Amino acid sequence: MDQELFTANDVAEILKISKHTVYELIKRGELRAFKVGNKMRIEADEVERYKTMVQTFPAITESPDQRMNGALQLSGSHDFLVEYLVKHVSKRNSKLSLQPAYIGSLEGLMSLYRGFADIAAIHLLDPSSGMYNLPIIKQLFVYERITVIRLASREQGLMIARNNPNNISGLADVARKDISIVNRQKGSGTRFSLDYLLSLTGIDPASVNGYDNEEWTHLSAASYISKGLADTAFGIRAAADQLNLDFIPITTEPFDLVFRWKSENTPFLEQLIEIIQTQDFKDTVIHLSGYDFSELGKMIYQF
């Protein structure tokens, strides 16, 4: 049976917040939604998931006082690994909490740079070097104490409907007139990767049907495919598998956490790294498809 769908007004009434706040939550990737025509719709299960999340974790804040009490702000790319980490930390350490804001890799790193976050979750490709993450990190953080920890390498590719009804075989097919895509928002690492790959194949983004149709998380993009609202989206295998979609692998990328050390957050960041490096945490995520966990918890860079 199909789930009940709510409008933004419905969700605002259910959660006792303003409609503007609902749209802000959707924009930040904290509330998953999809479009029907020009209208946003939210599934009943997603409303319940969000209610559970906000009951478990306090509201996101940028207060230094909260950081001193063990509340760490994590900003950046959405990934299921981050979701699992947030839940795992809450179970393992009652004095430590992660408050995620899924605003994209670039915005997350800039939030860290500006001092509004303690950790950034990123996968940013530098086209000039072909390297991920470290080139832009080294440009931004010249004097600050920084540590980069690897969570995993993950598969990125095309999410498509089961049994591939549109006979999509690779990235070149996104330029077909009969194919529509849903894209990720500007500033996301996935958007950077897609643009880079399109440039390598000589595809003009203006020729891609749906290129300007943006979503803020992998699962939101995948939901377009599962509901028949788009034919394909560039994203991670794990999202495709969650919604029973087929997947065409195109590239593998590292997904890292960047820690910025300050006097008030140092003991809590140390605790978090210890948790990430435990076998216990690895056991909670090892079942996820599309990831290589061979470097989970490895220190990639420190300054």
pLDDT value at position 24? Answer: 72
Q: Is the pTM of this model over 0.85?
A: no
Q: What is the mean pLDDT of residues 242-267?
A: 97
For CA atoms 14, 17, 23, 24, give the dihedral sign. Answer: negative
- pLDDT classification of 2: cutoffs 50, 70, 90: low
Q: What is the rounded average pLDDT of the residues 134-150?
A: 95
What pLDDT does 130 receive?
A: 87
For the ranges 2-16, 27-41, 102-116, 134-148, the maximum mean pLDDT occurs at 134-148
More confident residue, 254 or 102: 254
The mean pLDDT of 193-218, rounded to a whole number, is 94
Query: Exposed (0-12), middle (13-18) or buried (19+): which is 217, by Cβ within 10 Å?
Result: buried
For the chain, percent helix, then strand, then coil, each to nearest 5? Answer: 40, 25, 35
The string of pLDDT tens digits covering residues 264-290 is 999 999 999 999 999 999 999 999 999
pLDDT higher than threshold 80 for residue 93: no
Return the beta strands (E) in 66-178 as ranges.
Answer: 71-76, 97-102, 119-122, 125-126, 131-132, 146-160
What integer is the mean pLDDT of 39-51? Answer: 82
Structure tokens at 211: 């290129």
Q: How far from 146 is each of 38, 134, 259, 260, CA to CA, in Å?
A: 42, 11, 6, 5
What is the model's pLDDT at position 288?
95
Burial of 32 (0-12, 13-18, 19+ CB in 10 A): buried
pLDDT at residue 51 tops 70: yes
Predicted confidence at residue 53, as pLDDT, reads 58
- pLDDT band at residue 123 under the 50/70/90 scheme: very high
Query: Which pLDDT belongs to residue 1?
Result: 44
Q: Is 91 left (phi over 0), alpha (psi -120 to 50) or beta?
A: alpha
Quote the CA–CA distance of 57 and 41 in Å, as a whole number.
Answer: 24
pLDDT averaged over every residue in the chain: 89
Kindly tell me if the per-residue pLDDT of 11 is higher than 70.
yes
What is the per-residue pLDDT across 52-85, written as a single tens digit (0 to 9) for each?
A: 655 543 444 444 445 556 889 999 998 999 999 9
Q: Name the region of 161 (left: φ>0; alpha: ψ -120 to 50; beta: rest).
A: beta
Residue 33's pLDDT band (boundaries 50, 70, 90)? confident
Proportion of the chain above pLDDT 70, given as a percent: 92
**Burial (Cβ within 10 Å: 0-12, 13-18, ≥19) of residue 247:** buried
Domains of the chain: 1-56 (1.10.1660.10)
Mean pLDDT of 82-95: 89
Check residue 220 and give its pLDDT. Answer: 87
Identify which has the larger pLDDT, 216 or 178.
Answer: 178
pLDDT recorded at residue 68: 54
Cα distance between residue 22 and residue 30, in whole Å:
10
Cα 77 from chain centroid (whole Å): 4
Runs of H (alpha helix) within the chain: 8-15, 19-27, 44-56, 64-68, 80-92, 105-113, 134-140, 189-201, 218-226, 237-242, 266-276, 279-285
